[in-house]
Structure 1
Amino acid sequence: MGVLDDIRHAAFELRQTDPQEAIRVLRRAAQQGGEAEVLARGALGEIYLDELGDLDGAEHEFRRVLQLAPGLSAAEIGLGRTRRESGDVKGAETAFLRAIEGLSRDVRGFREGGALPAGAEEVVLTLLETAVELAELRKGAVPLEEEILSWAASQRLFDAEDDRDDWVRFHALWTRLRILTDRPEEAVTALREAERTGELPPDEAKELLRLALKELGAPVVVPLGTKS
């Protein structure tokens, strides 16, 4: 395998079975410099954070990535999560804001460029996920241009997969964001429209509606024979 294959294997598979060996593989890869170092150090940061709970190690790697690739959204997100776990709310907020700004710029570029690159849907989902994390941190509004989310939906960006998993994830995250920012009525309207247009399967739509209606204080009607 080449160095990029080694990085992918360590980052997605080996980390789950032998994180220490994954770290050794990634450290060797980082010595190659260039793109390999950026990818390897980003993966190292995630392993330190998610698998080992080593906040200092994770922060070191994410900051090194940002030195090598300033503004890289994935590293900003990793840094934000690390600072949040360390109790540094302000530092986490700053990193999440930078990530949202960068990801929003990417999505606007997709909209203006016409042709959609591979993986565009994951950029939108990551943007929305980061906005939710920031809203949870702030307990309130986030600076997100939600019109670009509407644009992504209008482009049927999440139809690429055979199932509806990406659509469900998209609407679950957007529902969560609307609830966190005191807009449950908007969530209810959007979810009903998403079910009507086939973006959401009925069962998933019903469960998300249950969450939004609960925030509104509205009664949730459960059909006979089902559990509430």
Structure 2
Amino acid sequence: MSNATIQTGLRDLGYQPGAVDGIFGPRTKAAAEAWLAAGGTAAKAPSSGDLPWMTEGKRVLGRHEVRDNGLLRSWLKSDGKTLGDPAKLPWCGDFVETCIRLALPGEPFPGSLGQNPYWARNWLELGQKTNPTYGAVLVFERGSGGHVGFAVGADPACFHVLGGNQSNAVTIARIDRKRLLGARWPKTFAALPLNLPSLSASDSISTNEA
């Protein structure tokens, strides 16, 4: 079976192998691994018109660093590089890196971000500054370190963030607005007028993303 046939089959099942070009690259590999992880079943359809890096992140939503360790480790290295075992290391930056590299393989990682995308505060060098809009990369302070994830919504007190290493899993967590250091938008993806949805403030506020 040719790589192009595999790509066509994955696409028809709702996965995203990238272009049907016969090259078994990182996006095709990630799509194949997602298909295997789902037991060979069709993918759940992502929200219509969702941003490509958000679609990538949502594919592993709910996966836990211990319970789903093998799957997470495989996904985190599917872009060609990884920090290591998510059960032993802080992996919020690895999560964001994997989403961006798989969805936007031509996106530049300048300066210290290119040297170490696993340090959350280095994501302040991605692309360009933006307001906190849906899909923006949000960087937060956490003591002398930081935390990074993607904006999915907001309430009066918090941003709702899709991220890794949140309660040891890929979750959507509420993080205090006062902790925000900056919001960034990828250079290679034209900004869209995506307002940040207003969401319920019913969940508890995350204070330690680990």
TM-score normalised by length of structure 2: 0.36
TM-score normalised by length of structure 1: 0.34
Q: Where is the strand percentage greater, Structure 1 or Structure 2?
A: 2
Q: Where is the helix percentage greater, Structure 1 or Structure 2?
A: 1
Structure with more relative contact order (C-alpha pairs < 8 Å, separation 6 or more): 2
- Higher-Rg structure is 1
